[in-house]
Structure 1
Amino acid sequence: MLSLNLLSYTNVTFSKPTSKYPLNASLLDPNLVNRARSHRTTRCQSPVPQIPSSNINHGFTFVSPNFQIPESRSDFGGHPCGFSSRFSSHKLGAAAGTPEEISPDGEIKDPKPSKNLKLAVVFGLWYFQNIVFNIYNKKVLNIFPYPWLLASFQLFTGAIWMLVLWSLKIQPCPKIDKSFIIALLGPALFHTIGHISACVSFSKVAVSFTHVIKSAEPVFTVVFSSFLGDSYPLNVWLSILPIVFGCSLAAITEVSFNFGGLWGAMISNVGFVLRNIYSKKSLQSFKEVNGLNLYGWITIISLFYLFPVAIFVEGSQWIAGYHQAIEAIGQPSTFYLWVIVSGIFYHLYNQSSYEALDDISPLTFSVGNTMKRVVVIIASVLVFRNPVRPLNALGSAIAIFGTFLYSQATAKKPKVEGDEKKN
């Protein structure tokens, strides 16, 4: 309750009403209205008679005994004439033809075209870098079919990249301790499994087929999360049906079908899903580490996981395979360039995806990731001229459309989780 000392002369400020709370001009003192209209740029004063306290509702001043200001609209601004600064900025933005953003608390935010431009650039780089990686990764594997060494080199490139960013202070290096490293061991292990399995799949089948099978990742997310206690509504379960059907149709009609390539892509889905689930459980206490730094440390630890195993699995074949690759390509410099480009762009597209995820909602990121697979599949088919049967194309389209439906069905889930964290 507000207490007011009413004087014979009271400063009165007016705020132009919104359509939600219209003011009836007939209720105002005509002299006061005319004076307000003629002096919009100066403080308005008008003699107001003393009003008994019984006529004051919730401590608000009446301009006349018949007129009261609604409590919900008592937020007058500091404009000299009493017009709310919030209202003035809104009118100014409308006059300039600029879209306005209104926050939940009613504040009008200035538009941020620079943020939208940055997001468009990040998305464009994400798609372009992913296409370049997939093309050169496949080119190397076509003449040097040793995915364990290539996957290790790609992690090595990412580790060197992050060390350079940290040493030059382009990216702030996070403060780490023993508990942080221990918490990363699980996610890094599953990341290693996902990465090497995808690389094995790329070495055995067409890039387009691997990406179609990898579009089934939501199926594994729902299944594994359900085993761990999460519940999903019926529409989420229904959305994974076209994914399963589309992937099955694409698999049985794939010209370059290979069981090793199929299982590699499936295991890659399992690895990345478990990485995401395990990260949520083990990294809850390290939210101050941003996504790029987190991915950098996962890359470094994954390199220590993968390279010793790579030596054991195929190390004895590397020298002979290298000579065969140089003989096939003709120039060693071309082979080196392809390997380096695949390593650099592998890290860059993951870096761009983390930067995009920092600025957009999980739903937008999921839809963008689905469309990214479409772009990569089309680009790979055009570059490598892989034969595509009509049923194979139909199955691929159904699977990717199912992934889009899954993104829509789970759109509300992140918001609920976010509200629970806030509460």
Structure 2
Amino acid sequence: MYNKVLIRYGEIGLKSRDTRRRFENILKNNIKLALKRYNIEGNIKTIHRRLLLEVEDNNLDRVISILKKVPGIVSFSPSVECNLDMKEIEETAIEVFFRKIEELGNGTITFKVKTQRVKKNFSLTSVEINRRIGESILKNFQRVKPGDITLKVDLKNPQITLGIEIIDKAYIFTEVFRGVGGLPVNSQGKVLVLLSDGIDSPVAGFLMMKRGCGTVLLHLKISDEGLEKVKRIYEVLKDYDPTSKLVVFDYREILKSIRELLEEIGKEKYTCIICKRIMLKIAQEYARRFNCEGIITGDSIGQVASQTLRNIYVISEGVSYPIFRPLIGLDKVEIMDIAKRIGTYDISTSKEIRCFAVPRHPITKGEVEEARELEKYIMDRIEINKIFSDNNKNYN
């Protein structure tokens, strides 16, 4: 019955006409890519600040789960389309409504009719349409009397809201599904996300996707188990950005050298700071290679020793690329809630994999000059160029 999906966006509608059309086209392409990932074909077009997707009815459940994860979509409704003829609208509305009643079973069922004239091209007002459709439903219900059902109008908290949107045609529905919102992926350029197997960085990547950024996900591998978790996280995040890439850089030897060399000179408390400074240098190189316009980390102020305000400053010094930290002001519970909502939390917490190089007493207030000297000391003793060359094969 439902072979059309009416898709609504939010911020896109506030843009100028040319920008809005460009964003609409990006969003349409993203929807097609998201569906194609699951071997679903669909025709999609723009209808006056809405998108209309046509799919096979037997794919509807899968389409609903896919559209929930496409940034730029605020809400959507599987709909039945009919002409802008009041009699046809009545007949279609009754058919849609009675099918919904069949799903709910017996008892008292409350409902209301809610009409929105997206285009003011219909002779009746929204209130007049609501009244006429509501009266038709009640009249037909009294005639059919399906089962032991009592039907009542409730304008405040109904069990069924029969929605009608008047555009080029009438679109009738009973469900409104929430989307991610935000802006379409790739409408704001591309960023490189430092992706670990933990809770935070996948959420940081998702939030940048939601703000319209395409992503390259860079994982600095320190264990095989961690990489396997990251691959699973990547499959989840790819639902939000079907254009994303995963790049794996084998970081184990570098991290081992950082730990050993700093221990030799009694500066192991700087291990996390130097590790992250070098991580950002590597991220910067990959950001250049992939034409990214910023680096994303999952830092949140005060969460661990390397994320004190002072250490974030020390770690960032010397990196020319912009570093964005979308989680910077969130606490752990807020981050966990988002991770659960987007589907990465269970993967991130499935097996705790601790970094083998974390010192017993990491410094919480590092000094820029000392960090700079220690970084140079490390970089002079590792073959970073050879490591980069060996890692070129790790593009996915």
Instruction: Compare relative contact order (CA 8 Å, sep 6+) and give the higher one, 1 or 2.
Output: 1
Taking structure 2 as the reference length, the TM-score comes to: 0.24
Going by fraction, where is strand more abundant, 1 or 2? 2
Of structures 1 and 2, the larger Rg is shown by: 1
Going by fraction, where is helix more abundant, 1 or 2? 1
Taking structure 1 as the reference length, the TM-score comes to: 0.23
